[in-house]
């Protein structure tokens, strides 16, 4: 079974679902195609419409395009493993979230318990729109948080959530052999493993 056949088998949903959710995955091999900002803005537009508590919209995106002077500063906080492939991305992005919000009709800002959760919804919209447009977005937790805050000049009151590499997916030929073997979509646990009717199922503990 070749890589394409393996990927198809791993991405065969058990229940009817829109293909955008199945076709999205996180490659590490990118072409040298530049990412026009007008196209990138469509990904941000999708993120804009994500749901959030009290419509607080805590997500903030900062980005640098490959070739811009800021690109190396965005690359620097990544762990060495991620730097090796992410340097070829067309854009590097960091997703931040604002920790406080002002409830409707009030001016006093309160801590938002869902600032990370809400920003994750924006990231999902972003990634799916990128896939729909023929691009790929790879989210990363592998970076030095303190260095990212310093390099990006992130003020207090904002959390640095994830780094994102965006580019046009390649055939992976430029990747080292170890990564090339992993350059395919991964499967997912069946719905029954994470959904339970009624009280907390004992099987969730495993």
Give pLDDT tens digits for 126-136: 999 999 999 99
Closest CA relative to residue 139, chosen from 41, 26, 20: 26
Residue 150 pLDDT > 70: yes
Ranges 3-17, 86-100, 109-123: which has the least confidence:
3-17
Round the average pLDDT of the chain to a whole number and report it.
93
- Looking at the whole model, is its pTM more than 0.85? yes
Q: What is the DSSP string of 57-72?
A: --EEEEEEETTSTTHH
Kindly provide the b/e burial profile for residues 76-103, where b requires at least 16 CB atoms within 10 angstroms of the residue's own CB.
ebbeeebeebbebbbbbbbbbbbbebee
Please give the residue that has the higher pLDDT: either 14 or 177. Answer: 14
Q: What percent of the chain is modeled with pLDDT above 90?
A: 81
Long-range contacts formed by 100-106: CB under 8 A, 24+ apart: 100/157, 101/53, 101/54, 101/56, 101/58, 103/54, 104/54
């Amino acid at each position: 079974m070749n890589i394409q056949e393996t990927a198809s088998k791993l991405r065969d949903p058990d229940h009817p679902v829109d293909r955008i959710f199945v076709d999205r995955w996180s490659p590490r091999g990118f072409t040298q195609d530049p990412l026009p900002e007008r196209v990138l803005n469509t990904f941000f537009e999708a993120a804009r419409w994500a749901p959030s508590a009290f419509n607080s919209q805590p997500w903030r995106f900062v980005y640098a395009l490959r070739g811009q002077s800021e690109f190396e500063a965005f690359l620097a906080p990544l762990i060495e493993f991620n730097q090796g492939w992410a340097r070829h991305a067309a854009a590097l992005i960091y997703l931040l979230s604002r920790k406080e919000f002002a409830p409707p009709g009030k001016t006093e800002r309160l801590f938002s318990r869902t600032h990370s959760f809400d920003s994750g919804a924006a990231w999902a919209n972003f990634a799916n729109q990128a896939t729909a447009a023929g691009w790929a977005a790879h989210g990363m937790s592998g970076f030095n948080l303190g260095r990212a805050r310093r390099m990006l000049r992130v003020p207090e009151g904002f959390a640095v959530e994830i780094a994102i590499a965006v580019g046009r997916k390649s055939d992976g030929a430029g990747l080292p052999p170890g990564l090339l073997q992993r350059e395919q979509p991964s499967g997912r646990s069946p719905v029954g493993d994470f959904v339970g009717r009624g009280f907390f199922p004992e099987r969730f503990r495993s």
